[in-house]
Structure 1
Amino acid sequence: MEQAKPKVTKKTIILPLLGILAFVLYIYFFNVDLLGIIETAKQAQPIPYIAAILISFIEILFYSLSWRELLSGLEVKLSLFKSYVFVWYAIFLDILVPAESISGEIARVYCVNREQCGTSGRVVASLVTFRLLSMFMNTFFLLLGAALLFGVSRIDPLVFGIIQFLVIGTAIMLVVFIVISRREAWSIKIINGVLRVAEYLSRGKWELEKVRNDAYDAARAFHSSMKDIMRNPKKLIIPTFYLALNWAASMFIPYLVFISLGYEVSWGVVLVTTSIVIAIKSIPVGIPFEVGLPEIAMTTVYAALGVPAEIAATSTILSRIITLWLRFGVGFVAYQWTELKAVSLNSTQNNKAPQQNLSI
């Protein structure tokens, strides 16, 4: 099944700019001292911050290892290097394209299926399983952070309400994902519904029969793969282990940023704040949540948990330099390398074809 490549639109430029503007306005209207932020950033110690940067690469490595193990369990073989590059490729599109929570997943299906045609259903199954494991992991760290905070201070009612909402919302989403994964007939109905809408909009001009057959094949492969995972839960042990290391590494990044600023922050504050931001980002509702909104959410939660406003804003900005802008740059390199390699491979194959015909 040939996958549609994610596309960049005008919103790609407009939404990040609006996000940056929203964060600047947030700082201004809530009377956060901009000069204080700059002075605090100047005093940051380089060694802990450099360590945070290095850990960000290790975090993505564990992420790639976890996903690669899931693919391997579904008999999709992918080298560690390619899985690492494809994850960076997906991160780049996550940041660039609205609907952050699914654009990177579409990109990974596209990349793997382009190299190994016919694997899209199994790749989707690996991504759904990965999302389910991530939701479990995020809920665990969120509750762990809340437990640590209960032991040292009173949690702000707003933050406590957010924690309750996210735990309940995550539980509902887990049930929905699991039910859909077990109901192949539902997937077929969804495919038919989408194609009926497409036929209506095109007034019968689009030839959708091949699309329908490809979608059916992918759906059958997806559900077959999900059933295989459910019958063999041992396949999830190693991916879950790597994913736990990925999450632990992700928590160390903001913690080390606070250390670089000379501020001793509670692990509970880091776990709760990071888990809240990740939980909101993972909701697949098409909300662009990469620039502006995360910064506002992080600064607000930090401040609500007792971190001074200037420290909260400075830590947020320095953390986002690593988790957003550095990743955007590395992801761009991965994107360019992957696409140039694909073009080069296609060119080589096209040049070989005429030579083979001549020899015949």
Structure 2
Amino acid sequence: MTSLTLPSARQTEFAVIASVVGFVALAAVAAVAAGGAEIWAQLSRISLGLLASLLALSLLNYGLRILRWHLYARHLGLEPTLKQSAMTYVAGFAMTTTPGRVGEAFRLWLMERVEGHRYDRTLPLLVADRISDMGAVGLLLLVGLSASTAQPWLLAVAAAATSVMVVLALWPRSAASAVYHGYRLFGRWPRLFGRARKAARDTAALFTPKLALSTLVLAVIGWAAECFALYLTLHALGAEVGLFFCVLVFTAGMLVGALTLVPGGLGGTEGTMLALLAIAGVPMSIAIPATVVSRVTTLWFAVGLGFAVMPAALRQARAAAR
């Protein structure tokens, strides 16, 4: 990888604004359908103290993810300061709702411009970050399912998928082996399999069992904090639901949103959360504001922080280019 094409500032702003408009429109339509007056009455029950707690839990998640990114970078021998890692990671949040995971690519671009690291050296950071998140969310989903459903087939599917993600997180060399055996099985697309195997090997070089386990623990704690925030919100609005069910709702929404490939999981995440809450008997007058509050204090809070940090990150990039 020798170059990286990023959208212009105007394109980024347009994509984010379009995402915000879409999110607000979706929430407004749902609120009208469920009874707008009840929705607003429920939202008024969110106190400033609760809102501060929800944002603090999100900050805990972001902080642990920054620490994980920093540990990966240090293990690669890149030697950034913790402050630089924080700026790079948070600035990427600004592009969370832009197409093509541009936020993650933007982090690599900043590291190339500010610290002079080639993309082929930093790409494993991006891959490892995703694998760790998938493993953590998968583990939490399995916990939520185990405590919230008696469907053995659903538990079996979730356990199988989670096992794959955890194996990738703890033993990334298994991915290179899987790619090799996949090529032997199909005997086609050698270039595609070759690239996949190189990416797997580069990521495997980043990990040691101790580092992989410690970063997975950081990810589990961070995402569990977001699940707990949803639990606090639902209880503040009067919904009698268990903590483990909230873990299921949040993680299932995250995974479905990721599978839709829509920036920020917009639509898929909210729809899944609402559907699961409805199945549990939570009225839409509670489910809709709880989902909106959850997304505002997680996704949109992160985007706001990213835009607050991005000017300083870009100034660093311009200064380094002189």
Alignment TM class, shorter chain as reference: 0.7 to 0.9
Q: Is the 8 A contact 2:148 2:244 kept in 1?
A: yes
Relative contact order (alpha carbons < 8 A, sep ≥ 6): 1 or 2 greater? 1
What is the identity, as a one-letter code, of the residue corresponding to 2:202?
S
SS in structure 2 at match of 1:94? coil
Residue 35 of structure 2 is matched in structure 1 by: 33
Is contact 2:233-2:290 (8 Å) kept? yes
Counterpart amino acid of 1:47? G
Letter in 2 for 1:251: C
Q: Give the 5 Å matches for 1:201-216.
A: none
Paired position in structure 2 for 1:238: 214
- What is the match of residue 5 of structure 2? 4
Residues 269 and 302 of structure 1 are in contact (CA less than 8 Å); yes or no, is this contact kept in structure 2?
no
- Name the aligned partner's letter for residue 219 of structure 2: L
Residues 81-100 of structure 1, C-alpha deviations (whole Å, 9 max, x = no match): 222222221221012x123x
Q: Is the contact between residue 67 and residue 126 of structure 1 (CA under 8 Å) also seen in structure 2? A: yes
State the distance in 2 between where 1:133 and 1:93 align.
20
2:28 alignment partner, one of 24, 37, 53: 24
Seen in structure 2, the aligned counterparts of structure 1 residues 27 and 76 have a Cα distance that, compared at 3 Å, is same
Alpha-carbon contact 2:228-2:243 (below 8 Å) kept: no
Aligned mates of 2:201, 2:145 — CA distance in 1:
38
CA contact 1:16–1:290 (8 Å) conserved in 2? no
For 2:205, which of 221, 225, 228 is the aligned residue?
228
CA–CA distance in 1 between the matches of 2:31 and 2:57? 28
Unmatched tracts of structure 1, length 5 or more: 193-215, 350-360
Unmatched runs of 5 consecutive residues or more in structure 2: 184-188
Q: CA deviation at 1:229?
A: 3.9
- Aligned residue pairs total 306
Residues 130 and 288 (structure 1 numbering): CA distance in 2 closer, same or farther, change over 3 Å?
A: closer
Greater Rg, structure 1 or structure 2? 1
SS in 1 for 2:132: helix
Structure 1 residues 282 and 294 mapped into 2: Cα distance closer, same or farther (>3 Å)?
Answer: closer
Amino acid at match of 1:130: D
Q: Is the 8 A contact 1:40 1:311 kept in 2?
A: yes
Quote the offset at 1:49 in angstroms.
2.4
For 1:105 and 1:253, the matched residues in 2 are separated by 25
Aligned partners of 2:61 and 2:222 also within 8 Å? yes
Distance 2:200 2:41 in 1: 55
Cα 1:118–1:169, aligned 2, differ >3 Å: closer, same or farther? Answer: same
Distance 1:273 1:335, change over 3 A: same
How do residues 286-297 of structure 1 correspond to structure 2 at under 5 angstroms? 286-297=261-272
Identical-residue share of aligned pairs (%): 19
Q: Which residue identity does 1:137 align to in structure 2?
A: A
Deviations 1:134-189 (A, max 9, x none): 22211111111112214xxx77x9xx86x7766666667789986764569x8982
Contact 2:144 2:247 in 1 (8 A): yes
CA distance change for structure 1 residues 288 and 167 in 2, over 3 Å: closer, same or farther? farther
Equivalent residues of 2:94, 2:310 under 8 A apart? yes
Q: Mapping of 1:206-355 within 5 angstroms?
A: 225-229=202-206, 232-283=208-259, 286-346=261-321, 349=322
CA distance in 2, matches of 1:241, 1:170: 15
What RMSD in Å do the two structures reach over aligned CA positions? Answer: 3.4
Residue identity matched to 2:46 = A
**Offset of 1:107 from its aligned partner?**
1.7
Report the Cα offset of residue 15 of structure 1: 4.8
The verdict on how the C-alpha distance between 1:279 and 1:24 changes in structure 2, with shifts beyond 3 A counting, is: same
TM-score scaled by length of structure 1: 0.72
Counterparts in 2 of 1:175 and 1:248: CA distance versus 1, 3 Å: closer
Structure 1 residue 287 displacement after superposition: 2.3
**How big is the shift at 1:293?**
3.9
Corresponding residue for residue 186 of structure 2: none
CA contact (8 A) 2:257 2:266 kept: no
